Amino acid sequence: MEELISVIVPVYKVEKYLDKCIESIINQTYKNLEIILVDDGSPDNCGKICDEYAEKDDRVIVIHKENGGVSSARNTGIKKAKGRWITFVDSDDWIEKDYVEELSKIGIQNKAEVVLCGYNRVYNKYKQPINAIGEIKDYNSYDYLIKTLNPQTGFGFCHMKLIKKEIIERNYF
């Protein structure tokens, strides 16, 4: 049986992108997902859109909270997550249909604690590929974890990673 993987999506003022984002997660080839949509007090229709997806797909969990910023929304999602692995998707982004499956295969086969991948930065019709390293096995250093999550180091951002939940809990909570 596939391990449960939690996908955390902080949501704020993205109603024109949100359907594409959620659809890309729901339609993953890897099906054992917990999809946590954190409505961070969005003043538009995002909360309603999230609720509609929760009604259609029992893997979708919606959390409505007062606006606290993207980090607060992600932290709320982490606290709710039940998956052994966590990945983050920004609500104005989308993921390829095999994103979770491919990253989880690499992580499990290599006994990694964090798996990284590249992504495409899209501007209108222009795509700029951003490459990353594949997987990190030896993850004993808090400093190294901080480096991989820091946008200034080149690995940056929370997206494009599959991280064991225990690593996040041990180093951030």
What is the pLDDT tens value at each position of the chain, 173 positions in all?
689 999 999 999 999 999 999 999 999 999 999 999 999 999 999 999 999 999 999 999 999 999 999 999 999 999 999 999 999 999 999 899 999 999 999 988 888 888 877 665 666 776 655 555 544 444 444 555 555 555 555 455 677 789 999 988 887 66
First to last CA, the chain: 29
Half-sphere exposure of 105 (CA within 13 A, CB side): 8
For residue 85, give both structure tokens: 């692995």
Coil/strand/helix, residue 18: helix
| Other Cβ atoms within 10 Å of 34 Cβ, number | 18
Residue indicated by tokens 């222009």: 126
Taking the C-alpha atoms of residue 8 and residue 73, their distance in angstroms, rounded to an integer, is 9
Amino acid sitting at position 33: L
CA 104 to chain centre: 13
Going along the chain from its start, the domains and CATH numbers come out as 5-172 (3.90.550.10)
